[in-house]
Structure formats: C-alpha cells, structure tokens
C-alpha cells in the first residue's frame, strides 16, 4: 500500500477497485513456479487484509490478463485503469494490448530504465556505464505514503475465492520450511527495519552464508510488497552504499530485458559449448537439485533452496557455477529449476545472473573462470551454514567440514563427489578451448 503510485492515482480520482489477475496463460513457459505460488497465496491474503482495513476490497480473477482487465473494467464501469509498469516481455505485450485504456506508472525500479540510455540511444548492456548514468538520477524521489482510507465502489464485481486457486501444496506439503517467511507488506517492512540497523556491516557480511548479512528483501521486492525507493530511503544516509549498488543491479537487469526480451532462453553471447546430455547428465542434474553432489557448500545451498525457497546469494553463484562448469550442464536447466523453486524467482535477475555465471551474458564473467567450491566454502566461513543444512556433516570440525572426502572423514551416508574439482575444471576448460578452436 505504501509508495504505490498506480493506486494513489486511482484513489485521487474517486472510488477504487483493486484487481489481481492470476494469469498462467500469457507468460507461457514463464508462468509462476511452485515456490512463487506459495508466496502469492499469503501475499494476496495480506493485501486483502490491508485493503479491507482501509475500507477497500480486493477482487480476484483468473484468466488472460488483457481479457480479464477489460471485462472487470466494464463490469465496474471504471473510468480509468491504473497499473505499475513491468518489464517482462509477456507483461509488456499485455500493456500494449490494453493500449490507451491503461495508464502506467513507475514504481518497480529506482528510475525508469527506458530513460537510462547510452550515447547511441540504446539500452545499456554493461553494468558499469549503466550505473554511472543512473547516478545522475539518484537518489530517487521519496516514497509516497499509503492511503489511510479508501473509497470503494458501491457495487463490486464478483471475486473468485483464493482457496479455489489451490496455490498451496498439500500432498505432500513441501512448503513447511517456508514458515520462516512472512509474505506481505508488514513482513517487508520488518526485514527493512532489521536490515537498516545492520546495513553498516553489509559489505563485509554479504558473502558469508553463516551470517545474516543480506537484506532478505528480494521476494518482497519481486511481489511489489515494498518499493525500491522505500528500501533506498529506508537506509541511513552514508550507509549501505554497497547495497544500493546491488539494488541498482536489479534496475540494470530490467534494462537488459529491454535490449533482449528472450534473455531467459537465448544466449546473449553464445560460446558454442557442447552441454552434456543423456542419462548420466540427468543423474548428475538430479543429484545437484537434491543437494547430493558430495560438495558440502553446494549441497547446503541446494537443500536450503528446497526447504525454504531461498538461497544465500554467494551460494547461488557457487551452485550455479558447479552445474554449468563442473557438470557441463546447460545453464537454462538451472534457470528453470531456480524458477520453480525460488520464492524470489525474477525473470530479469534470474536470467541475467545465470548468463553471468555461464559467460554468455552481455555483462558476464569469462567461462574460463571456474569457481572452486571447496576454497569458496572455507574462504567465506560456511562451516555453520553447512552444519545447518547438511546435518550428516554437523559433527565435523571447521577444518574438515568443507572437504570431508579430501580429509578422509566423510561419513558413509554422505555421497562421494560427482566429479573431482581438478577433473571438472580441466574438462570444462578443454570443452571451452575446443568450442573456440577455428574450424
């Protein structure tokens, strides 16, 4: 409800009807995954409560967004339709289809990426020059306060029941561990308050999986429960500059969508690598997805993802690198797995970060830079993180826990490494050299 410019504009004009459309047709293969569906259920529950407390109501409909919005606007005899602008290609098509009937507002970014342009007038593809140009528009304008009272229409169109959408898993209920989260605006503000008190330590703690050094705001930002401007201004002046640059990376990924709408499936800079496929690759992918690779830091991250729907950012890099380089499996398989299992699965960020790891993005690390998971684990003090998510290793010392097989102390229940680090690295680099060889 806070800093929601579309809602504020509608409220200034008269009675407001709040509408949410569950559209699983328009996005095609990018319809929301299972973890996001869990979050959405609880987020809509919280939003409905916020609206009702202010005198409003939330109407729920399911179907193609463009069709449903037109239908509900006609039923309500709406004078205008207001929405916050989005950047995913499928939502941009909806916006184009609705045309002049739709009034779009900013709110999902610090500054509209369409206004951050290179000297040639195109969208930026490299973060450094993008951020230097964005800085001219920073800080963003202050967030708008929430509407204290809402005037609802005298007659509300019919609404579907949230429970009938069956967004929550039941048989089995694999989301029990998701209870660590509080979807909704109140949960977002609680995380912001906590993070604002700790942001001075962000630069040194952000890469430490065993520490609570990150903001935990990604899902709240993705679902629009808090705005980037709220986050920016919620941090003390002079504090959190490193974090603010990370917040700007989120803007940048939306700029990349404008340059390449198909970034989730099409390599921006193809490197010609022959990805492994077939039965053996399938077995390796299954072991990776279940946290059974024999690399404790990788397994801890994948199990944290499955249990809570979220993974620490440093560990996301390590697990993604392991899949793409040690296992030579197509980054797009990893993208799809994260899309289904992450509560904060964001088309722009998810795709951009996977292409960064794979060395195929406009702005990415070279493929030949292969992360060493055992070294990364020790370097970033992941011992307690591993103990939490890989309990069969919890009894091991800090010195042994990062590489139990190499130290000769691995328990029988813990799987052997799918491939040795040196062997995996050499295989990846050989494949890379052969892919680049002339002829």
List of residues 6+ apart from 236 with CB closer than 8 A: 196, 199
The average pLDDT across 45-69 equals 97
Strand 102-105 and strand 81-84: the pairing is parallel
Question: Which residue ranges does the chain devote to CATH 1.25.40.80?
Answer: 108-142+185-259
Q: How confident is the model at residue 28 (pLDDT cuts 50, 70, 90)?
A: very high
Neighbours of 118 (CB within 10 A): 13
pLDDT at residue 171, rounded to an integer = 85
Which pLDDT tens digit goes with each residue over 304-319?
A: 999 999 999 999 999 9
DSSP track, 149-206? S----SSPPP---GGGG--S--SS-TTGGGGG---SHHHHHHHHHHHHHHGGGHHHHT
d(CA 426, CA 428): 5
Nearest to 151 by CA among 16, 302, 283, 24: 16
Which pLDDT tens digit goes with each residue over 92-135?
A: 999 999 999 999 999 999 999 999 998 888 889 999 999 999 99
Which pLDDT tens digit goes with each residue over 265-312?
A: 999 999 899 999 999 999 999 999 999 999 999 999 999 999 999 999
**Where is 209: in which H helix or E strand?**
none
pLDDT at residue 321, rounded to an integer = 98
pLDDT at residue 425, rounded to an integer = 97
Strand 81-84 and strand 58-62: the pairing is unpaired
Neighbours of 310 (CB within 10 A): 22
Class of domain 1-107: alpha beta
Which pLDDT tens digit goes with each residue over 355-406?
A: 999 999 999 999 999 999 999 999 999 999 999 999 999 999 999 999 999 9
Q: Residue 102 pairs with which residues in a beta bridge? A: 81
Eight-state DSSP code of residue 86: -
Neighbours of 393 (CB within 10 A): 22
Eight-state DSSP code of residue 372: -
pLDDT at residue 237, rounded to an integer = 83
Q: How confident is the model at residue 438 (pLDDT cuts 50, 70, 90)?
A: confident
Eight-state DSSP code of residue 99: G
pLDDT at residue 436, rounded to an integer = 87
Name the 3-class secondary structure at 81.
strand
pLDDT at residue 184, rounded to an integer = 98
Whole-model pTM above 0.85? yes
For residue 222, pLDDT over 80 is answered with yes
d(CA 226, CA 272): 40
For residue 439, pLDDT over 80 is answered with no
The architecture in CATH of the region 279-436 reads Orthogonal Bundle (1.10)
Question: Which residue ranges does the chain devote to CATH 3.40.50.620?
Answer: 1-107
d(CA 334, CA 322): 10
Which pLDDT tens digit goes with each residue over 353-367?
A: 999 999 999 999 999
Nearest to 68 by CA among 92, 94, 38, 90: 94
The average pLDDT across 205-213 equals 94
pLDDT at residue 293, rounded to an integer = 98
Q: Which residues of 264-301 are buried (b: 16+ CB within 10 A; e: fewer)?
A: beebbeeeebeebeeeebeebbebbbebbbbbbbbbbb
Neighbours of 237 (CB within 10 A): 7
* Domain 108-142+185-259: assigned CATH number: 1.25.40.80
58, two tokens: 């939330």
**End-to-end CA distance of the chain, in Å?**
59
Which pLDDT tens digit goes with each residue over 326-341?
A: 999 999 999 999 999 9
């Amino acid at each position: 409800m806070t800093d929601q410019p579309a809602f504020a504009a509608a409220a200034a004009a008269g009675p407001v009807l709040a509408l949410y459309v569950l559209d699983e047709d328009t996005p095609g293969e990018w319809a929301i995954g299972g973890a996001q569906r869990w979050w959405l259920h609880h987020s809509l529950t919280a939003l409905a409560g916020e609206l009702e407390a202010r005198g409003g109501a939330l109407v729920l409909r399911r179907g193609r967004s463009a069709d449903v919005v037109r239908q509900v606007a006609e039923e309500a005899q709406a004078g205008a339709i207001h929405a916050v602008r989005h950047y995913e290609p499928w939502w941009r098509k909806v916006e184009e289809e609705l045309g002049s009937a739709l009034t779009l507002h900013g709110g999902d970014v610090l500054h509209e990426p369409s206004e951050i342009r290179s000297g040639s007038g195109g969208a930026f593809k490299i973060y450094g020059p993008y951020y230097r140009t964005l800085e001219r528009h920073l800080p963003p304008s202050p967030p708008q306060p929430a509407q204290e009272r809402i005037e609802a229409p005298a007659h509300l169109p019919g609404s579907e029941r949230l429970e009938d959408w069956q967004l929550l898993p039941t048989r089995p209920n694999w989301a029990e561990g998701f209870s660590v989260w509080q979807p909704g605006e109140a949960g977002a503000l609680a995380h912001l308050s906590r993070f604002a008190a700790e942001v001075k330590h962000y630069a040194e703690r952000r890469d430490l999986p065993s520490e609570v050094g990150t903001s935990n705001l990604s899902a709240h930002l993705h679902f629009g429960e808090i705005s980037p401007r709220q986050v920016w201004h919620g941090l003390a002046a002079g504090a959190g500059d490193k974090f603010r640059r990370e917040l700007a990376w989120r803007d940048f990924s939306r700029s990349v969508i404008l340059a390449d709408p198909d970034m989730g499936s099409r390599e921006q800079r193809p490197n010609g690598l022959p990805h492994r496929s077939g039965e053996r690759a399938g077995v390796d992918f299954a072991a990776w997805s279940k946290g059974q690779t024999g690399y404790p830091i990788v397994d801890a991250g994948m199990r944290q993802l499955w249990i809570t729907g979220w993974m620490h950012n440093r560990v996301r890099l390590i697990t993604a690198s392991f899949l793409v380089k040690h296992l030579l499996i197509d980054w797009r398989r990893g993208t799809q797995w994260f899309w289904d299992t992450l509560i904060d699965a964001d088309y722009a960020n998810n795709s951009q970060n996977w292409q960064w790891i794979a060395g195929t993005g406009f702005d990415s690390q070279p493929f030949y830079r292969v992360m060493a998971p055992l070294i990364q684990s020790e370097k970033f003090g992941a011992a307690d993180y591993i103990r939490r998510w890989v309990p069969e290793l919890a009894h091991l010392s800090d010195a042994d826990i990062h590489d139990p097989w190499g130290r000769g102390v691995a328990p029988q229940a813990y799987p052997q490494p799918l491939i040795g680090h040196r062997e995996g690295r050499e295989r990846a680099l050989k494949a890379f050299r052969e892919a680049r060889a002339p002829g």
